[in-house]
Amino acid sequence: MLRLDQVSKTFDSHRGVHHMDFSMERGEIVGFLGPNGAGKTTTMRMITGYLRPTAGKVLLDGKSVHEQGKIVRSRIGYLPETPPLYPDMSILSYLKFVAKLRDVPAREQTRRVDEMLSRLGLAGRERQIIRTLSKGYKQRVGLAGAIIHKPDLLVLDEPTSGLDPNQIMEIRNLIRELGDNHTVLLSTHILPEVSTLCSRVLIINQGQLVMDGSPASIGSTMNQSFHVSLTVKGDANMIIPLIQAWGEGLEEKVQLSSHQEEDGLVRLELNASAHHDYREELFYLLARSELPILELKKQDQSLEEIFQKLTTDEAGEVNSGEDGSLPVSAPEQELEAQRGSEGS
C-alpha cells in the first residue's frame, strides 16, 4: 500500500534521512523506533506530503504523494507530535472545522463529527473548550481530527508521549481498534508499546533504516548467542565439573559464567557465542547422571537491548543526530500542510 523508494531528505552534509526504502501492507500496524534526532519525524512528514524529499519517491498504491498530492494525501491521516489544535475552539467546532478542511462532503459532516465524538470517547464533552482539556483528551481530539476523513493510512508521531499511564492505555486501545480499519505507522520511544501494538518494527538510526521485521523475528536475528539459566537439584561438586567438562569438549565452547548454591539447588548461567541451542544436550547430560533439572530457560535479548545495540556506537554512546530543534508549526500551518501545501 505504502512504498518509500530510496527516499532521502538532506538538511546539511550529515543531518536528515538517507535512502529510506520500505513498504507497508494494508492492515499492518508498524512501529517506528529510533533515538532522538534519528529522522522519524522527518520520514513521517515526507510520507504525509508535508516535506518534499531531496531524492526518492513516496508512493501510496503506486501514486506519488508529492506529484499527485491532493488526492493521495486525502487518503492519509497524520497526528503530529504536537496535535494541531486551536485551544480556544470547542471540540465540536474544531472537528467541524477539520471535517470541512479535509473535504468531508457537506451532507456527511455532522454525521462524521458525531461518529468521531462517540468513537474517541468525546461524547458529552463536545462543548468543552480545547484549552481546558487534559493532555489525554487533547490527544483524542487530535486523533479524531486525523481520522475524520476516513484515511486508509494513519501516521502517528509519538501518540502517547507525555500521557499518564492510564491515558497511555486508553490511547493504545484506541490505536489497536483503529488498526482494524486503517494501516498505521506510529513512532514511539516506548519499546513495550511496540511489542504490544505492532506486528512489525522499523528501527532507524542516524537517518538510516537499520532493522525491519516482526518483534519476534528481530529477536531471533539478533539472538545469535546461546545464553541459558538453569536450576539443578543435587551436589554442586558433581554438577559444576560435569557441566564444565561437557562445555569445554564442544567445538563452540559453552562456558559457566556464574553459579550459586542454596538448599540443595544449584543455579547456573551458561554462555556461548554459538548459533546452536544446546538445551536438549544439557537435559540428557544431567538426566544421565540422575541430576534433575528443575528450571531451564533460554535468555533472549529484549527489544530494549536490541534497540540499544543497534543505536549506540562501540563506545556505548547514543547515536543521536539531534543538534537543533524543529520549529514548532502553528496549528493552521500543520493543517494546511496536511491538506495540500508543501514545506521545503
Ligand X SMILES: Nc1ncnc2c1ncn2[C@@H]1O[C@H](COP(=O)(O)OP(=O)(O)OP(=O)(O)O)[C@@H](O)[C@H]1O
100-127 CB burial, b ≥16 within 10 A, e <16 = ebbebeeeebeebbeebbebbebeebbe
User: Which residue, 294 or 328, is less far from ligand X as judged by CB?
Assistant: 328
Q: Does 19 bind ligand X (CB under 6 A)?
A: no
Between CA 50 and CA 336 the distance in angstroms is 9
Nearer to ligand X, 47 or 175 (CB): 47
Q: What angle do CA 276, 202, 158 make, to 5 degrees?
A: 135
Residues 193-232 that bind ligand X (CB under 6 A): none
41 vs 139, beta carbon nearer ligand X: 41
Tell me the closest approach of the beta carbon of residue 5 to ligand X, in angstroms. Answer: 19
DSSP letter for each residue of 204-224: EETTEEEEEE-HHHHHHHH--
Selected binder of ligand X within 322, 330, 332, 341 (CB under 6 A): 322
Does position 162 interact with ligand X (CB under 6 A)? The reply is: no
Region from 91-99, 147-155, 173-181, 320-328 binding ligand X, contact rule CB under 6 A: 320-328
Q: Does 37 bind ligand X (CB under 6 A)?
A: yes
Residue 15 near residue 321 (C-beta atoms within 8 A)? yes
Per-residue contact flags (x/-) with ligand X for residues 279 to 318, judged by CB under 6 A: ----------------------------------------
Candidate list 31, 33, 39, 113; residue touching ligand X; CB under 6 A: 39
Categorise residue 27: left if φ over 0, alpha if ψ from -120 to 50, beta otherwise: left
Chain center to CA of 70: 28
Q: Per rule CB under 6 A, is residue 80 in the interface with ligand X?
A: no
- Region near ligand X per CB under 6 A, out of 36-44, 53-61, 130-138, 305-313: 36-44
By CB under 6 A, name the one of 7, 18, 22, 42 that touches ligand X: 42
3-state secondary structure of 264: coil
- Which residues neighbour 249 within 8 Å (Cβ) at sequence distance 6 or greater? none
Question: CB 321 → ligand X: shortest distance, Å?
Answer: 4
DSSP assignment of 42-95, as one string?
HHHHHHTTSB--SEEEEEETTEETTTSHHHHHTTEEEE-SS----TTSBHHHHH
8 A C-beta contact, residue 226 and residue 271: yes
Grid coordinates representing 151? Answer: 484515511
Q: Compute the residue count for the chain.
A: 344
Binding status of residue 328 toward ligand X by CB under 6 A: no
DSSP assignments along 267-291, one per residue: EEEEEES-SS--HHHHHHHHHHTT-
Cα separation values, 305 from 98, 107, 298, Å: 41, 52, 15
Q: Is 52 in the site for ligand X (CB under 6 A)?
A: no
Residue 4 found at the interface with ligand X (CB under 6 A): no
> Closest Cα partner for 28 from 224, 173, 178?
178
**Comparison of 36 and 273: residue with beta carbon closer to ligand X:** 36
CB of 198 to ligand X, least distance (A): 17
Q: Which one of 23, 36, 134, 196 is in contact with ligand X (CB under 6 A)? A: 36
Instruction: Report the nearest approach of ligand X to the CB of residue 145 (Å).
Output: 20
If the CB atoms of residues 16 and 159 are measured against ligand X, the closer one turns out to be 16
Q: Of the ranges 32-40, 71-79, 121-129, 271-279, which one interacts with ligand X (CB under 6 A)?
A: 32-40
Q: Which of 18, 22, 29, 34 binds ligand X (CB under 6 A)?
A: 34
User: Does 324 interact with ligand X (rule: CB under 6 A)?
Assistant: yes
Q: According to the binding rule CB under 6 A, does residue 40 interact with ligand X? A: yes
Question: Which residues in this chain contact ligand X in the complex, by CB under 6 A?
Answer: 11, 15-16, 34, 36-42, 321-324, 326
